[in-house]
Structure 1
Amino acid sequence: MAIILIADSGSTKAEWCLVEGKKKKTFFTQGLSPYFLTGEQIQNILEEELKQKMKRVMPDEIFFYGTGCANPNNARLVKKAVQKVFTGATVAVDHDLMGAAKALCGREKGIACILGTGSNSCFYNGKKIVKNSPGLGYVLGDEGSGAYLGKKVIQHYLYSTFDADLMDRFDAKFKTSTTEILEAVYKKPLPNRYLANFTVFLAENRGHYMVENIIEDGFNDFFFNHVYKYRESWTLPVNFIGSVAYGFKDVLEEMCHSYELQLGKVMQKPMDGLVKYHTN
């Protein structure tokens, strides 16, 4: 029986699952984004943070799904680095949206959506991604994502749109200032991740009409600009994956109902679905 190693990698952290028959072991390493790391750096991380923990168990097949791997040059760079560390394994590298599609839809047709720090979506025909609504990143797009919702929270705070109660709650929670916020957004690295941190404020203040409006508006923008652009969304289940989707599942249910769409699966992360896909 083949020993399989599956990876789901973001830019911050990567989850690895080693599958040996009925046995599963999970490991974590830092994220392996080919936009931020060289092939040599990826190799070093794999040697130090993964291979040692695996205690001489060598996989026969490796399926790697990662951020930045839609770019063929990036995918080649990752594949080469993985192959150098696990010399006896066959390695397949694909991007995170394909990982999400396989985890959510398996071998069935469906719409697969990612709502995490960023957002993305596609129509998947059970084998490959046929249509993809362009992801424009957190400055121009990423509707419905953590960065998008977090940006709205900050706008409401800095414009004093929040009522006095929410302003006080924000101050008590984050203890920050206008200068600090603007510096983090415009001068420091990874502003998208910084913005996404503010979605926790929405989760902790559910029920307040201003908070509910921000969540609904953000998801509405995602449905209108992306989900509705797929003709297939009228007849196939619309599936979601990611921390934001999972945290606000009730809003997605309501929205699918009002848009007359069929809500499929809502998952926090893809690993269980990917294990199922590659072992069936």
Structure 2
Amino acid sequence: MAILIADSGATKCEWCVVDKRKAKKTIFTMGISPYFLNSAQVEDIVRREVFPAVNRYKIEAIYYYGTGCKNPANRTMIRKAIQRVFPGIEVTVDNDLMGAARAVCLDGKGIACILGTGSNSCYYNGKKIVKNSPGLGYVLGDEGSGAYLGKKVLQYYLYETFDEELKYRFEEQYKLTSVDILDKVYKQPLPNKFLAGFTLFLAENRGHYMIENIIEDGLNDFFFQHVIRYNESWKYPIHFVGGVASGFRDVVRDLCSSYELEMGTILQNPMEGLIKYHKS
């Protein structure tokens, strides 16, 4: 017997078949966001891309963690769409923050943080999320996220704060005019993904004082606005999931130290931890 675990963001969804011994099959589909897709579209993705790849396994339960699933109506929509493809199989749907918390905390207590395209955090008591700092999205919040850091990169470029060396590197790599940038941010779909793409520029230019300032200030904003607001932050480990946390783990570690917090686990994505959680 096996289980199927799904971890979905707005742009990508990872599905993994797991039996009692190990992961058996991993596939990727487009992201499933209930704010962008309706029930029929979700069912179509699962039927066309997931079902043929996993149908030969004897799946007894499906655990789905996804963006937008804090809303009960969205959870119900996703669950029913999956059940139409996998009738008779138990389907549990929860939000991506619960997935992150279970992945890094397992059945222990801790602060679970997401630092990817977006950002979020919570205090997890080993069974459920007890406290959650409000996530305001990339326009009003998402401190420390890829979109937040990418926005800073564009501000430094468009305000001509970059020195000549960084300005030259940016223009050579992206060949974007200010008109192009504003169009992609204000008129094109998925501007948060566009903004988050500039974390690559940060990663490739580590060591320059302006780049380090953007990274350190952006991640410190996340700690200041969210992490240290939990009283439990000084009692339990601070764990992280996401490409930003993984890519800039040295800065995350230094910030934990400066705030006198216990550094926990850092995972690039939650699937590894979710497999451990559900196997146990």
TM superposition score normalised by structure 2:
0.98
Q: Which residue of 2 aligns with 1:120?
A: 120
- Rounded Cα–Cα distance in structure 1 between residues aligned with 2:22 and 2:130: 34
2:42 corresponds to = 42
Aligned-partner Cα distance in 1 for 2:4–2:228: 36
**Structure 1 match to 2:146:** 146
1:244 counterpart = 2:210:
no
The C-alpha deviation readout for 1:153-197, integer Å capped at 9, x for no partner, is 000000110100000000111111000001111111111111111
Q: 1:141 & 1:23 partners in 2: Cα distance?
A: 38
Counterpart-to-counterpart distance in 1, 2:223 and 2:91 = 35
2:13 is equivalent to residue 11 of structure 1: no
Count of aligned positions: 279
1:225 paired residue number: 225
Q: Distance in 1 between matches of 2:241 and 2:22?
A: 25
Deviations 1:17-39 (A, max 9, x none): 10123142111111111111111
Aligned to 1:207: 207
Runs of 4+ in 1 over 3 A off after TM superposition: none
Are residues 1:64 and 2:64 paired? yes
Measure, in 2, the Cα distance between the counterparts of 1:264 and 1:23: 24
Q: What is the Cα deviation at residue 137 of structure 1?
A: 0.5
SS at 2:180's partner residue? helix
> 2:179 & 2:84 partners in 1: Cα distance?
46
Q: In the alignment, is residue 194 of structure 1 matched against residue 178 of structure 2?
A: no
Letter in 1 for 2:9: G
SS of residue paired to 1:127:
coil
Q: Show the counterpart of 1:21.
A: 20
Following the alignment from structure 2 to structure 1, what is the Cα–Cα distance between the partners of residues 117 and 221? Answer: 16
CA distance in 1, matches of 2:207, 2:187: 34
Separation in 2, partners of 1:253, 1:49: 39
Separation (CA, whole Å) in 1 of partners of 2:27 and 2:150: 30
Whether the 8 Å contact between 1:124 and 1:131 is mirrored in structure 2 is: yes
Helix, strand or coil: the match of 1:11? Answer: coil
Q: Which residue of 1 aligns with 2:262?
A: 262
Partner of 1:114, secondary structure, is strand
Unaligned runs of 5+ in 1: none
Summarize the alignment of residues 39-188 of structure 1 with structure 2, pairs less than 5 Å apart: 39-188=39-188
Shift of 1:82: 0.7
Cα distance in 2 for partners of 1:210, 1:11 equals 30
1:76-135 per-residue CA deviation (whole Å, 9 max, x = no partner) reads 000001111111211100000000000000000000000000000000000000000000
Q: Over aligned residues, Cα RMSD in angstroms? A: 0.8
Matched to 2:188, the amino acid is K
Distance 1:204 1:112 in 2: 27
Bigger drift between 15-24 and 80-89 goes to: 15-24
SS of 1:181's equivalent in the other structure is: helix
CA distance in 2, matches of 1:89, 1:55: 12
Q: Secondary structure at the match of 2:53?
A: coil
What is the one-letter code of the residue matched to 1:77? M
Question: One-letter code of the match for 1:195?
Answer: L
Does the 8 Å CA contact 1:59/1:86 hold for their aligned counterparts? no
Contact 1:58 1:86 in 2 (8 A): no
2:265 aligned counterpart, secondary structure: strand
Distance 1:41 1:139 in 2: 27
- Return 50-59 or 194-203, whichever deviates more: 50-59
> Shift of the alpha carbon at 1:58?
3.7
Aligned counterparts of 1:152 and 1:127: Cα–Cα separation in 2: 37
195-204 vs 31-40, which deviates more?
A: 31-40
CA distance in 1, matches of 2:237, 2:278: 22
Offset at residue 56 of structure 1 (A): 3.0
Report the TM-score, using the length of structure 1 for normalisation: 0.98
